[in-house]
Amino acid sequence: MHKKTFTVIGFLLLSNLLLAQTQKVRNQPYGDYKLYHFGITVGLNFQDMLLTNSGLTNENGETWYGTIPNYSPGFTVGLVADLYLNPYMNLRFTPMLCFGDKEFEFVEPAAKASFKTNVRSNYLLTPLDLKIRSMRLNNYRPYVLAGVYSAINLGRKKDEPVLLKQMDYGVSIGLGCDFYLPFVKVIPEIRFCFGLGDILEKDRSDLTDLSLAKYPNALSKGVSRMVIFTFNFE
């Protein structure tokens, strides 16, 4: 009888020990219920554009076509302001500086000629997003977000073959996951930005070298695209 009793007690103790090992400590259990909180964000961005070629033939009989063949990573840094709406939704304002550039390549197939130029694009991006979160699972919580943004181009340099407008706007979608540490949340996030306006500057009276005019004339429209991968610390 005593042997059976000790066996049962030992089994219960072992079960409790195994259960304790599998259970995780719930960090910041009430952190999601603050009315508002702030943070910082750092990461990388990849800038692109959807180009529409005009197909115009210049006085020399040349028809140039523009593309963006390569994507170079740029640096992103910003702030996070988060407003609690309900247990599954937050309103977020995340102004950020996105430093980067775009490489344009223009090709004239008949002459087998090409021309490349880099355009610096340093944007002050101001997204306003709705963050929709799943239920919390131990110390992580996936989410999706969607919103709108405006952008100011701080890196414009005139008298270049391609000039972009100073203002842009669009919509953005993204996804990420909150990871709860004892004193801070670390949040990897990826965001896709889709510009809605034509950002190619058509008035090129700033060009001093008129031989460069054939390159902006080769394009009729340009719409911005950007992918931003960041780590938020909140």
Reported as a single tens digit per residue, the pLDDT across 118-128 is: 999 899 999 99
* Predicted pLDDT at 61: 86
| 76, pLDDT greater than 90 | yes
How far apart CA 195 and CA 199 sit, in angstroms, is: 9
Cβ pair 119, 102 in contact under 8 A: yes
Q: Which two tokens stand for residue 66?
A: 């523009």
| 203, pLDDT greater than 70 | yes
29-233 CATH, one of 2.60.120.10, 3.40.50.300, 2.40.160.20, 3.40.50.2000: 2.40.160.20
Helical ranges in the chain per DSSP H: 2-22, 214-217
- Residue 49: name the closest of 175, 197, 185 by CA: 197
* Predicted pLDDT at 205: 87
Quickly state the pLDDT bin for 142 (edges 50, 70, 90): very high
| 15, pLDDT greater than 80 | no
Q: Could you tell me what percentage of the chain is helix, strand and coil, using 3-state DSSP and rounding each to the nearest 5?
A: 15, 55, 30
Q: Which two tokens stand for residue 45?
A: 């961005």
How far apart CA 201 and CA 68 sit, in angstroms, is: 17
| 210, pLDDT greater than 60 | yes
Across 182-191, average pLDDT: 95
Quickly state the pLDDT bin for 24 (edges 50, 70, 90): low
* Predicted pLDDT at 158: 86
Cβ pair 182, 28 in contact under 8 A: yes
Across 204-222, average pLDDT: 90
Would residue 159 be called left, alpha or beta, if left means φ above 0 and alpha means ψ between -120 and 50 degrees? left
How far apart CA 53 and CA 217 sit, in angstroms, is: 9
Q: Which of the listed ranges 57-71, 112-126, 220-234 does the model predict with the highest average pLDDT?
A: 220-234
- Domain coordinates of the chain in residue numbers? 29-233
